[in-house]
Chains A and B, each alone.
Chain A
Amino acid sequence: MPREHYLNATYGIRSWLLTTDHKRIAMLYLVSVTFFFFIGGAFATMIRIHLLTPTGLLVTPETYNKLFTMHGVAMIFFFLIPSIPAVLGNFLLPIMIGAKDLAFPKINLLSWYIYLIGGGFVLYSFSTGGLDTGWTFYTPLSSVYSNSAVTPAVIGVFINGFSSILTGLNFIVTVHTMRAPGMTWFRMPLFVWAQYATSIIFILGTPVIAITLLLAGMERMFHLGFFNPALGGDPILFQHLFWFYSHPAVYIMILPAMGVISEIIPTFARKPIFGYSFIAASSIAIAVIGFFVWAHHMFLTGQSTYSALAFSLLSYLVAIPSAVKVFNWTSTLYKGSISYDTPMLYALGFIGLFLIGGLTGLFLACLGLDIHIHDTYFVVAHFHYIMVGGAVMGYVGGLHFWWPKITGKLYPEFLARVAAVILFIGFNLTFFPQFLLGYLGMPRRYSSYPPEFQVLNVMSTAGASILALGYLLPMIYLTWSMRYGKVAGRNPWPATGLEWQTDSPPPTENFDVTPEVTWEPYDYENRPDLGLAIEGAPTHAHGDD
């Protein structure tokens, strides 16, 4: 391990709380998002236990409604959305493009504090009466009828939005102006392309939910009538404004994870990614088209049939670039030199689960089908496959992949592989039954249900206990490895990115000398410095060439 690196360069709590080093800020985020993951996870645990019996085992309906609402708010706004961008993105983006830091390091720190303040308001809401409007805050339930702590929650989410906006702004400017010499756009790692696309959504979408929540909050506080029909307002207007952000928000959650997968697969197949420019372009395409599909959440609100047709069509179109990525990742495995390291297991698990989640999205985009499965557990299963089976697996896989770089230590490989498999199995057992529940008609957000739905609910809860184990194990051994893990060295895998050219952990300045980039990304063949098979020796055991 290097003697001096970003973790030990300076000491004391002030050096952390007032840092402008993007790597330290990433670590600050790591701690905070993990905290909110626990909170959201605790609510999820209570939900699944409660649903073991048809009449509800654990809590009253009021409390149950608060549980699923707070689970959604904590997980979406305070865990999923920041997770990969603010932890892995912050840490890696500058290093991957050869820069010393982001364009605006102080604004980066400000982003974290804004996140904390927003989180504070939301935690205040949770602990003083809770929130029971659903994370979707539909009016007039949220602005007029709910008796829960809506206002502080809305203020908290509003404030938190600015954290996202500033992070997105920082990333975009950094990619434009801070690339090292030779780092052209098409030499950038796909992870950077993914962050860039995500940041476009951050800056264009988040302001809209900010203003929407501001208006809804004002409606509640001052009895105004934007969204309240009794005062001449329109509840459907709220839904349009809300989903205009919240649909692109789901792409905020998945694009970074896709970026992680695009880094892991070439590394553990030891070959360039198949279709680099198509994967890069599809990230941008998803970000753009994603802004035009929001009303597919509103097919049954009574909107015009023409509008429904348009949104259904566009929703199918947005699926295409995601499919392109899946095909390209799979093709990268062809004639690869595949190792079964933990990050690869997460990446392949991601593809499988994202595949199921994405395909079920086709069911939901289908107008005729949506009539039946809208607002049922089918939807719940669909988005958990993408957000948990996809985004969270991408996050955990990314944490494993870059853990040696971030901490300088290796995690215990065998245990990690076991945990990955447990996670994958637990996840499927938890959420696959929910597709069936939805198809059979069980509505979502129900604290009690007809007895015929019990068997599938029990299966889902049983699976959730395995899923929980799958999450706990990495938390334990990753923490353990920081102290007791084997020293990693610069490039343990090895991988081709710029981040692997510097020490593990990196020095505060990232590089001793500004790198000059002359190689293409994932170019294993022309990288003798990686210490792999050299010219002349048999490189691939699969015959042909």
Chain B
Amino acid sequence: MVYITLISLFFGVAITAAIVYFFFKYRRTHPEQLGVPIHGDMRLETAWIVVPALLAMTMFAWGAVVYVDYRRAPVDTLDIYVIGKQWMWKAQQPTGLKEINELHVPVGRDVKLILASEDVIHDFSVPAFRVKMDVVPGHYNTMWFRPTKVGRYHFFCSQYCGTNHSLMGGWVTVMEPTDYAAWLSGASEGNENPVLAGEKLFADKACITCHLSDGRGRAPSLNGVYGAKVLLADGSTVTADEGYIRESILEPKAKIVAGYQPLMPSFQGQMTEEQILNLTAYIKSLQSQPVPATGSGIAPATGKK
């Protein structure tokens, strides 16, 4: 930021100074006076094409590095689900604790937010952390940050979303880890654990009738699938992340697992974003369950081909 500001200031001031200087130094002194006809200068033109281009590349490179790092969340993050809807934010901590227009996080920890929208495009932004990301209906976006200082910081909705767009904000509270843990357990009573909620949904919506955990059902077992590579019918592989799980629930025909029939019905319009998140939390919890030898969608570890 400082670097770009300095370069901009330099050119801004230099050119303005040149203009002002020429403006006064070369003012017309008698009514019929002409200027000195100078048509151009190849060396100058080359210089002021090449030098700015090189400077621009440095600015690009610096920004690119920051951005690429921002788009790739680190591996071990504290995952919080954030749902935006007209005109409020709901955040769900890993234990299932829900907050409205508030977000509590521990200092010094990598925090990843998984963002979902229930209606229009929103944007979750925390100016003090220099982070923001659009929240787009129809798929998940993620963002991450590592708070370094305890305190309370504004967050805003930063994508125009209708009438109360300006009111759709709140506070991020960064706490010492021990305080955070205390807050989390203290306020947890009466809040539904998302994994348990998801497990209940898994049974209620009859997922369990096809997705048998021992792999003998009409659909692949979901043990260990979260985070693994899944082999698809067309030979390609895909990583089973939150987005994949969501798509599998809403548009099951989009990616068929190798060796299985496209039998799964779509649950589009039958589930809220929260329910999908709870199911995702449950499936995530099956990560450590034993993967059956046959009847799993996971791609073979030894990538031959």
Contacts and interface: CB of A to CB of B under 8 A. Distances in A.
A complexed with B = yes
A269 B19 CA distance: 12
A57 interface: no
Contact of B130 (A356, A372, A446, A531): A372
Interface stretch (A98-106, A270-278, A391-399, A477-485): A270-278
A523 B131 CA distance: 54
A274 B35 contact: no
Q: How large is the interface on B (under 10, 10 to 19, 20 to 34, 35 or more residues)?
A: 35 or more
Given A355-B15, A366-B60, A445-B160, A334 B48 contact: no
Contacts of B159: 138, 375
Contacts of A366: 4, 59-60, 62-63
Contacts of B44: 327, 331
B27 A351 contact: no
B56 A320 contact: yes
Contacts of B272: none
Main secondary structure of the interface of B (DSSP, over half): mixed
Interface string A132-146: 101000101100111
B70 A235 contact: no
A541 B30 contact: yes
Given A320-B56, A323-B52, A141 B22 contact: no
Contacts of A352: 16, 19
B35 A271 contact: yes
Contacts of A326: 15
Given A374-B158, A445-B160, A275 B45 contact: yes
Contact of A235 (B16, B138, B154): B138
A462 interface: no
B270 interface: no
B254 to A, nearest CB: 10
A351 B22 CA distance: 14
A379 B172 CA distance: 24
A134 B5 CA distance: 30
Interface string B16-43: 1011001100111110111111111100
Contacts, number: 281
B112 to A, nearest CB: 14
B60 A313 contact: yes
A446 B5 CA distance: 26
A274 B36 contact: no
A355 B28 contact: no
B182 interface: no
Interface in A227-257: 229-230, 232-236
A337 B37 contact: no
A340 B24 CA distance: 10
Interface of A: 61-62, 65, 132, 134, 138, 140-141, 144-146, 229-230, 232-236, 269-272, 274-278, 299-302, 305, 308-309, 312-313, 316-317, 319-320, 323-324, 326-328, 330-331, 333-340, 348, 351-352, 355-356, 359-360, 362-363, 365-372, 374-376, 440-441, 443-450, 523-525, 531-533, 537, 539-542, 544-545
Given A312-B63, A331-B38, A335-B35, 12 more contacts: A134-B160, A138-B120, A138-B121, A312-B60, A328-B45, A333-B22, A359-B11, A368-B63, A374-B158, A375-B132, A441-B125, A447-B165
